[in-house]
Homo-oligomer: A and B are copies of this chain.
Amino acid sequence: MTLDQLPTPCLVLDRTILRRNLARMAACAARHGLPLRPHMKTAKCIEVARMALEGQPGGITVSTLAEAEYFAAHDIADILYAVGITPQKLPEVAKINATGARVMVITDDPAVASAIAQEPEPPQTLIEIDCGEARGGVLPDDPALLEIAARLGPSLAGVMTHAGHSYSGRSDAAMAGFAEDERSAVVRAAERLRAAGYAVPIVSAGSSPTAVHAESLAGLTEMRAGVYMFGDLFQAEIGTHALEDIAVTVLASVTGRRAGQVVIDAGGIALSKDRSTEAAPVDYGYGLVLDIDGARSLGHAVVRRAYQEHGVVALDPAAPADLPVGARVRVAPNHTCMTVAAHDRYYVTDGGREVVAVWQRVNGW
């Protein structure tokens, strides 16, 4: 099967680019002497996980319990569920751990820490630290840190943080600063806990932009990152990787055309309504349109409007193209985690048009 024959819209994953992206992040972790705990929230796919774990100890990060269950069933035991746990989700965690997995959870809440400690088989738990994003986590100097640790007791396995606010960075220096915020906050929390007598074996931090830009990760025991595997237009704009490093695109067919514009069968569902690049130097609308071979022969052709199943592409007058109804294009995503979430599988290539594998995703919750 080739890209000319696939039903559209669908995801195309270029394995040659994926391999390059994985190697770059592995080198980055090696430079800091740290193991990588890849975040599978983007790929949600066992074949990608196995590639991302080459040369690593084997732990992963996930964003849903559906992912945890799926990866545990595929023999990945060491799993960090990196969204604040609720007491109601603890039985599901216990169920997965009863199969032999070791799902760790996170919390920033004293009452939840007590609920964890009262479980028949409490999961190992990391305390979430806020390093500046103001989303989840306790500040490293917050008295609550020690209270949560005390309530967790033997369930305490360490601390973790994520500098999601690094997405506002627009220079290498700014990114290095966010990376240092991330490192110093979580290391400071670990030091306070150790001073109070806790062991704190795990000091975990990371995001793709900060992993790439960090000058020092001293004091961490592991780094986490996820979107680097596939990349996207927004990550390219904030310097995580080059524009040529986007491994996943949406294959689409032209369904209509008029002067200066074509309509494609990839709209708001197939591409997502994410508009991350609106706040970046170059606004790519709902995605940058490439030709079927993934080359930029269409110039700055972008999906300007996204309806449920229609994407309206503004063509680039400087790059005239003959795109009759039925012609195929590939759309590089604004925010790959959002775009891939609408699809149940990847059609894998090695850079050409031939489909060399079909890999399933685990969606939902």
CA distance A293 to B83 in the complex (A): 25
CA distance A308 to B312 in the complex (A): 25
Contacts of A268 in B (CB 8 A): 272, 274, 338
Q: Is the CB of B86 within 8 A of A308?
A: no
Chain A contact residues, CB within 8 Å of chain B? 7-10, 41, 63-65, 83-89, 92, 107-109, 111-112, 128, 134-137, 164, 253-258, 261, 263, 265, 268-270, 272-275, 305, 307-310, 312, 324-326, 335, 337-338, 341-344, 363-365
Q: Is the CB of A263 within 8 A of B7?
A: no
CA distance A326 to B265 in the complex (A): 40
Q: Which of B85, B269, B324 contacts A341 (CB 8 A)?
A: B269
Provide the main secondary structure of the chain A interface: loop
Q: Assuming the A-B contacts A41-B309, A273-B274, A308-B63, are A265 and B341 also in contact, with contact meaning beta carbons closer than 8 angstroms in the complex?
A: no
Contacts of A342 in B (CB 8 A): 341-342, 363-364
Q: Assuming the A-B contacts A83-B255, A272-B273, A341-B342, are A136 and B263 also in contact, with contact meaning beta carbons closer than 8 angstroms in the complex?
A: yes
Contacts of A88 in B (CB 8 A): 8, 253, 326
Q: List 11 A-B contacts (CB under 8 A).
A: A83-B265, A84-B325, A85-B255, A86-B254, A86-B255, A135-B256, A135-B312, A273-B274, A308-B341, A342-B364, A344-B363
